[in-house]
Structure 1
């Protein structure tokens, strides 16, 4: 990939929320979410309206983000295989050129001691004890017994450890920016900031919940109790880990939705504090800001919560970029992915992009005309999945390929809610064949499924076998580090 020499070599500030649906921003048209600071950033830059995660679960998505490569290229399959630096990424490239590369907040890598491309990690959140969800690696075959959901063990107004963690990390970022302004670096710096909201637990300070009219919220759509039939692969996932059953009532489902929306407002406030500090430090004019999230959240649609599916709510993420050389006020509809951030950071620092990066710089995409042919891709090999699942999206079509199961096909222009599966529609046979061919040109879906399961089986055996492995790993969200760990 050739370097575009007309881009200024600038500092980069990457802000990543956790589990934020790409639609959950005011500037994206969401009817209940209020995000004035995200909206302001989009107004002074470019919002990528078709941005997707490489995998709809935390750890693989973050490993792909770190390396600029697809999950099947790097073999970080699930939440028990944290990024360890084995595959170098954008941080290593910047470090090799003498640039300062630091992080504040959630990374969700294996641990903080491994060479993952940062000179220093501040208050980092990683896999608990470096292990993660070993129980989720038991997939070959899937366990027969369902697993108790703990998503909603805490729900409603209050202050969680994650809320405190995000607030502390916004404070730390403000201090870091003022320090850099007072002691300039000879080369551009890159700072990654990881915020946790709106990730569960769905607990949020009351004032943010007060901004949501709970009574006006519609119930989650396509609920099985209303007669909706899930795809068999999705049903197997829900049978294993039925978080919706933990909510139980329409009132609690509405409260969960309200808390999720309120947490987006909460994290927007933390982002605003960071952006205010960037401006006050005098660094705004020499810093590109990238705002995104690792994946989305199902938000009760189809009776599903959390992530781990190929539907829009789980795979689409917010992605906004602003700063030098970024078009102002543009909405770019070309499909992009988190793996496109790696070449963006390297190119934006004035360096040549490594040839093994699989994405394309967002700087180039933002300047180019809309490309309706560019493919959106995501894959899933993690907890609750009986087999690999792949999404290929192009133009108006979203194709879901489940190894061993029938596919799904949606016309997302006519049916943005993905309510009608057209995979058996004879009029769509040519589209189905074409998108399956695109997938098979990218990878061998069956062989990749076998490879992922073989790696996971080896991990399970190292941990003592299936029965032992099913007891290893966090039962809920990864704990935030204590302030003394910063």
Structure 2
């Protein structure tokens, strides 16, 4: 196709169902709704890994986590594997980023001509303590209560909301200046909200009266019994009901705040006269449990954490379309190449989202995700095919859900005899992609070597680069 401009908008930790256009009765997202109305929304899109750093490395390279070896939030993208940014540079296409990258360092060759206020992992190692899983049997890590995310929620400003306003400011200026560009470009604008801390500016928090917030899905009193693999994620118990409601309101408020920043950027694109020559991708790196099963954060393969919003718009993109073809963050790489008029690359699993948007639905397209990071006793893998989702846990019993009959994932069908053939089929699909036990071993070994290089788990815990539950914004990026 003829080369076109491409604007990529990424948020952080946006639950795919929490948009007005996705049918959420509470979420107020007018700008994303308008984008979906003039483009195509993929109703079943997934992250390749439900945690920030690996997902972003996969998004950049178009490859699965086990293929590139960026296993967790301390083993971050360093330019070692070519990205779509590198391909743009080789083709002479201007390519820049604004906002969160979550790579190892701004000094690494990441594939951008320029990084504007880039946010990377802290000190090149990030939250290294989260690489300690079960590799050190004699080490007992201090408890990490997920409920703390909800307990600190409320109205106000945080370093994340201040940072995202700066991201939008710079993007608005960048697009105004791009109005006179005579050659195509790629701009990656990456926000950090609605990722916790769950502190939402008051005007957005007040959109969601706390007393009207729903109870947590599979919360206290529901009778839900968590899968044994979730033991570390659910340790310490769920938030108190009142904290859960405040947290839910704050999370929705952050979604609306992020939507407003997206609206500012899209408004600048239109003001610059670039709408008719620019394609757009909106997505997020992963989802958010939002209290479901007693968990705030991500780090599992249930829909809340692993599904992501995915909207494409622009020239030759079907307007107002809902595509039921399963999609993935791995599809971003070929999508960027497609916009630049470059041929697809052999050996990567994705397809151009702009191509998929024009095709009839392919419900049997396989989407794959994996997890080797924080609070996991072993690797978790997901296969989505048709109506079924299969979750394979190394050393634990699997789960199988019929997402058409049971979108809430309330009934595990894996042990029922009538679904034995489905389990065998989906496990065979998984093993065509990778050896799950071998990749679990590789991840644990890489993490063990990293921790030992820093003096072992006790030394790591004594010398943490940050004690926050999230990556802090360097102060110089806020001024």
User: TM-score, length-normalised on structure 2?
Assistant: 0.96
User: Which of 406, 416, 420 is the aligned partner of 1:429?
Assistant: 420
Measured after TM superposition, the shift of residue 154 of structure 1 is: 3.3
Larger mean CA deviation between 64-73 and 353-362 belongs to: 353-362
CA offsets 1:298-356 (integer angstroms, 9 cap, x no match):
11111011000110000000010100121111111100001101100011111122223
Looking at structure 2, the residues matched to 280 and 127 of structure 1 have their Cα atoms a distance apart, in angstroms, of 34
Native 8 Å contact 1:135 1:473 kept in 2: no
Question: Is residue 30 of structure 1 aligned with residue 28 of structure 2?
Answer: no
What SS does structure 1 have at the residue aligned with 2:283? strand
What SS does structure 2 have at the residue aligned with 1:292? strand
Question: Is residue 68 of structure 1 aligned with residue 59 of structure 2?
Answer: no
Native 8 Å contact 1:138 1:469 kept in 2: no
Native 8 Å contact 2:162 2:478 kept in 1: no
CA offsets 1:82-127 (integer angstroms, 9 cap, x no match):
1000000100001001111100000100011110110000011000
The match for 1:477 is 470
Looking at structure 2, the residues matched to 145 and 80 of structure 1 have their Cα atoms a distance apart, in angstroms, of 17
Matches for 1:212-231 after TM superposition, within 5 Å: 212-231=208-227
Measured after TM superposition, the shift of residue 423 of structure 1 is: 1.1
The match for 2:143 is 147
Matches for 1:213-292 after TM superposition, within 5 Å: 213-239=209-235, 242=236, 245=238, 247=239, 249-292=240-283
Looking at structure 1, the residues matched to 11 and 179 of structure 2 have their Cα atoms a distance apart, in angstroms, of 25
Q: 1:237 to 1:141 in 2, by over 3 A?
A: farther
Q: How many residue pairs align between the two structures? A: 473
The match for 2:321 is 330
Q: 1:422 to 1:371 in 2, by over 3 A?
A: same
Native 8 Å contact 2:163 2:478 kept in 1: no
Matches for 1:44-443 after TM superposition, within 5 Å: 44-141=38-135, 144-149=140-145, 150-152=148-150, 154-182=152-180, 184-186=181-183, 188-239=184-235, 242=236, 245=238, 247=239, 249-443=240-434
Measured after TM superposition, the shift of residue 141 of structure 1 is: 3.3
Superposed CA RMSD? 1.5
Gaps of 5+ in 1: 1-6
What SS does structure 1 have at the residue aligned with 2:41? strand
Native 8 Å contact 2:13 2:284 kept in 1: yes
Looking at structure 2, the residues matched to 55 and 200 of structure 1 have their Cα atoms a distance apart, in angstroms, of 18
What SS does structure 2 have at the residue aligned with 1:278? helix
Q: 1:225 to 1:470 in 2, by over 3 A?
A: farther
Looking at structure 2, the residues matched to 228 and 51 of structure 1 have their Cα atoms a distance apart, in angstroms, of 26
Measured after TM superposition, the shift of residue 134 of structure 1 is: 1.1
Measured after TM superposition, the shift of residue 146 of structure 1 is: 4.3
Looking at structure 1, the residues matched to 241 and 460 of structure 2 have their Cα atoms a distance apart, in angstroms, of 35
Gaps of 5+ in 2: none
Measured after TM superposition, the shift of residue 213 of structure 1 is: 2.8
Q: 1:166 to 1:484 in 2, by over 3 A?
A: closer
Looking at structure 2, the residues matched to 190 and 24 of structure 1 have their Cα atoms a distance apart, in angstroms, of 27
Larger mean CA deviation between 112-121 and 220-229 belongs to: 220-229
What SS does structure 1 have at the residue aligned with 2:342? coil
The match for 1:3 is none
Q: 1:426 to 1:284 in 2, by over 3 A?
A: same
Measured after TM superposition, the shift of residue 469 of structure 1 is: 2.3
Larger mean CA deviation between 146-155 and 108-117 belongs to: 146-155
Looking at structure 2, the residues matched to 353 and 408 of structure 1 have their Cα atoms a distance apart, in angstroms, of 34
Native 8 Å contact 1:106 1:125 kept in 2: yes
Looking at structure 1, the residues matched to 379 and 9 of structure 2 have their Cα atoms a distance apart, in angstroms, of 30
Looking at structure 2, the residues matched to 322 and 312 of structure 1 have their Cα atoms a distance apart, in angstroms, of 24
CA offsets 1:344-370 (integer angstroms, 9 cap, x no match):
001111112222322111111111110
Looking at structure 1, the residues matched to 144 and 45 of structure 2 have their Cα atoms a distance apart, in angstroms, of 32
User: Which of 3, 8, 31 is the aligned partner of 1:14?
Assistant: 8
Native 8 Å contact 1:61 1:295 kept in 2: yes
Measured after TM superposition, the shift of residue 483 of structure 1 is: 4.4
Question: Is residue 39 of structure 1 aligned with residue 39 of structure 2?
Answer: no
User: TM-score, length-normalised on structure 1?
Assistant: 0.95
Native 8 Å contact 2:135 2:444 kept in 1: no
Looking at structure 2, the residues matched to 296 and 95 of structure 1 have their Cα atoms a distance apart, in angstroms, of 30
What SS does structure 2 have at the residue aligned with 1:236? coil
Q: 1:298 to 1:204 in 2, by over 3 A?
A: same
Looking at structure 1, the residues matched to 455 and 140 of structure 2 have their Cα atoms a distance apart, in angstroms, of 19
Native 8 Å contact 1:214 1:258 kept in 2: yes
Looking at structure 1, the residues matched to 312 and 322 of structure 2 have their Cα atoms a distance apart, in angstroms, of 11
